[in-house]
Each structure stands twice: as structure tokens, then as C-alpha cells.
Amino acid sequence: MRYKESFLSYLQYEKRYSKHTLVSYDCDLSQFFSFLSSYGIEESEIVDLNFKDVRKWIVFLMNDGCSARTVNRKLSSLKSFFKYLLRESLIQHNPMDKVVGPRQGKKLPNFIAEDSMRLLQEVDFGEGFEGIRDRLVIEMFYHTGMRLSELMNLKVSGFDRSASVVRVLGKRNRERIIPVSNNLETLLDEYLEQRLMLCSNEDGFLILTNQAKPAYEKLLYRIVTKHLSKITTLSKKSPHVLRHTFATHLLNNGAELNAIKELLGHSNLSATQIYTHTSFERLNDIYKQAHPRA
């Protein structure tokens, strides 16, 4: 598809979007073009589209069982696509101008209670390299709040021992600095000793498999799911739950929202404000349990 491929090339080579993001855009646009095709509208006719055509797609997606969140994400892809076409003078008007996505409720992030996280100290992670690696993975997610992709791509050199910080390369290649606690530094030292016995490369990727290869996404998910199952009954157990836990615990213990924003690598404060809702929900529950007239 000429328009779609031109747009994806722009995202890849000029905007430097990640492979995962490109796949998401490709999927959304392919679904949209497939929908148009079912109505006899070809790509060459995209210049004649209007907001009513897009609204038909919204109705189709909602009737197909898509959540409001999913529909709005797909509409975001379309907005970027048509904005690009308009800037390149490939279309004369933007069919998204009058399009409003479905309203969605604010979903609060899942997180693990502080008491449950303290139980990690009693968890048996096993002996040798695998045991200490698994513990480090859990503690890294909880102590730093980094994303799965960030830990997966973290190098040993990302740690600055003299400053007790870790330098993380986040979205859009933005680097951020996260403090490292004494306990995490001690655990890291123990892990690096085991790692050196497995792999002679003193730098390279921090987290390795038992075969001294870089850790992969499914391995990190498996480690987190396995060990969180020992301390929580949450249905969802993932690296991102530990990221939510990191942020929520900081806020509950007095950290400023702007500081949490910087630690998480959010580009704007609105993304971080979801944790204030989580904190309010917690206070509301305490009030209902404790106040005699609640």
C-alpha cells in the first residue's frame, strides 16, 4: 500500500520509532484499509475519505467487541497517519478533524501491597547463578521501576558505582538516571560474581540466560510470574505490575509526583497522575474501614 508504506518508512527512518511501535501502526492501518475494502473503497480513494467513513469503522470495532481503550489507540494511529499525509500534500483535508473517540473509564493500575513485597526476603529463589539472577530481576523491576525492554537491554556499564545510580535508555532513546539502593548494589555485586563465572565478558548485557546469552522477553516474564506467585494472589503478575508497584509505593511514602515522573521516564505529568488515583483509592478504603460513620 503506497500511502501506508510511505508513512511507516517515515516513522522508521525519520522518527526512529521502535520495531514494536511500527508493528502496532502497521496492524492498525491494515485493519482500517481492510475495513474500507469491504465497502469497496481502495487505497487510491483515500483522498476522498471523510469523518463519516472513520465513524463507521469505530462502530464496527465497538460491535466487534473492542474496548474503548483499544479503539482510541487505533484512532491515534489514524490521526498520525492522516496528519502525515496532509503535511506531505497527499490529501487535501483531514478526515479525522470531526472524529471523537469513545469515552473510556480510567482503569487503575494493579500493584502489590507493601507487606506482600516484604515477603520477597523470605522467598527461596534457588542456588547458583539462576537463583541470584531471578532475585536480581525482581528487585531491579521493583527498586528502579524500569520497563521490561529497558532491563532486557541494560548493559553492565549502565551502572555507575561511584554515584550509585543506573543509567537507563528509555523510549525515544531518552536517558534517565535512577538511584540504586545499598541493598540492590550488594545483590548486584553477588550476581556479577556469578555472571563472571558463566561469561568472561565483563560488560555486555546485564541479565543473561543460563547459556550466557542475553535475556529475552519471555524469560523475564516467566521469572516475574513464577516468583510473584509466591507472595501475591493478584491475577496479573508482570514486570509492569512491579513498575506500578514501584511508583505507588513511592507516592504512598511521600515522594513528589514530579520526581516519580522523572524516575519512570514519562514524557508528561498526565501519565504519572494515574498513581494519585491509586493512592486516593487506598486512602478511601482505609477511611471506610476505620471511620465509624463511613
**Whose grid coordinates read 509492569?**
240
Using only C-alpha atoms, the chain has a radius of gyration, in whole angstroms, of: 23
Looking at 133, 135, 143, 147, which residue is catalytic? Answer: 147
Of 3, 142, 191, 275, which residue is the catalytic one? 275
Collapse the DSSP code of 169 into the 3-class scheme (helix H, G, I; strand E, B; otherwise coil) and give the result: strand
Active site residue 266: yes
Q: Which residues of 147-159 are buried (b: 16+ CB within 10 A; e: fewer)?
A: bbbbbbbbeeebb
What dihedral angle (degrees, nearest 10) is formed by the CA atoms of 31, 34, 35, 41?
140
173: left (phi over 0), alpha (psi -120 to 50) or beta: left
Angstrom CA distances, 274 to 162, 173, 181, stand at 34, 24, 26
Q: Which of 178, 214, 216, 181 lies closest to 195, judged by CA?
A: 214
Contact by Cβ (8 Å): 166, 154 = yes
Q: Which residue is catalytic, options 4, 55, 240, 282?
A: 240
- Give the active site residue among 243, 244, 249, 261: 243
55, 73, 266, 282: the active-site residue = 266
147 belongs to the catalytic site: yes
- The question of whether 275 is a catalytic residue gets the answer yes
Angle 51-56-60 from CA coordinates, rounded to 5°: 145
The helices-and-strands tally (H runs, E runs) of the chain is 13, 3
Asked about 277 being catalytic, the answer comes back as: no
Q: Where are the beta strands (DSSP E) in the chain?
A: 159-160, 165-169, 175-179
83 annotated active-site: no
User: Is position 288 annotated as part of the catalytic site?
Assistant: no
| CA pair distance 65, 82, nearest whole angstrom | 25
Catalytically active residues, by annotation: 147, 171, 240, 243, 266, 275
